[in-house]
Amino acid sequence: MIGKPSLEARGVPKWSKMKKQFPANPSENATACFLISHTFRSLAYRIADSRVRVPNLFADQKMSSTGGSTKGGRGKPKASKSVSRSQKAGLQFPVGRIARFLKAGKYAERVGAGAPVYLSAVLEYLAAEVLELAGNAARDNKKNRIVPRHIQLAVRNDEELSKLLGSVTIANGGVLPNIHQTLLPKKAGKGKGEIGSASQEF
């Protein structure tokens, strides 16, 4: 008819216009409707199950990205903790900082990888040696705190350290206690007989 709008203009699918989609027998028609409804119901259950499982998948990925256990290869691998060069060498002094100072000082055009490790080990050994002797000096003076005076006594009483730091002045270190032999008082203890015999000789 001319005045009747078409079904395609309304957006109605083509299969709705088919009149021979279902058989004419009512029993077969009911069976077909049951199968269709059962199919749609199972699809709805699957969609509902997938909607329920989606947050769990996101939670697993979040746990794996923050360092949790990864299941089935999902998520990012656990990042290994960075190890400093001081820990690799077993030192307390900073290898990276000393390497930066060597490069910034322009002591040479190039700085090898082992140079800062070697220098860190040498400085750590010297510091440990001085601190051990200074701690002994503080303990001898019945003190619990190391002061520059203890470092001065530790360095000047050690032959090798005194030679190494011969031209170094330690602030507030003082001097070593030293009195010349001629300035010491003479020994007293001579008896009267010895004094008389000495006077009779002249």
Q: Which domain holds residue 54?
A: 32-62
Same domain, 97 and 55: no
pLDDT given at position 56: 47
DSSP E strand stretches across 39-195: none
Q: Is the dihedral of CA 13, 17, 23, 25 positive or negative?
A: positive
Same domain, 165 and 91: yes
Mean pLDDT of the chain: 77
**Do 170 and 150 form a contact (C-beta atoms < 8 A)?**
no
Same domain, 102 and 148: yes
88 CB contacts (<8 Å, ≥6 apart)? Answer: none
* Residue range 68-90: mean pLDDT, rounded: 79
Of all helices (H) and strands (E), which one includes residue 40? helix 26-65
Structural domain contains residue 150: yes
Q: How sure is the predictor about 77, in pLDDT bands with cuts at 50, 70 and 90?
A: confident
Structure tokens given for 171: 């602030």
Same domain, 116 and 159: yes
Structural domain contains residue 16: no
Q: How sure is the predictor about 28, in pLDDT bands with cuts at 50, 70 and 90?
A: low
**Gap between the Cα atoms of 161 and 168, Å rounded:** 11
**Do 86 and 120 form a contact (C-beta atoms < 8 A)?**
yes
* Residue range 97-113: mean pLDDT, rounded: 96
Q: How sure is the predictor about 26, in pLDDT bands with cuts at 50, 70 and 90?
A: low
pLDDT at 195 over 70: no
Structure tokens given for 181: 């032999």
> Biggest alpha carbon distance in the chain?
170
Q: What is the CATH number of the domain that holds 169?
A: 1.10.20.10
Structural domain contains residue 143: yes
Angle between helices 95-104 and 115-140 (to 10 degrees): 120
Q: What is the tally of structural domains in the chain?
A: 2
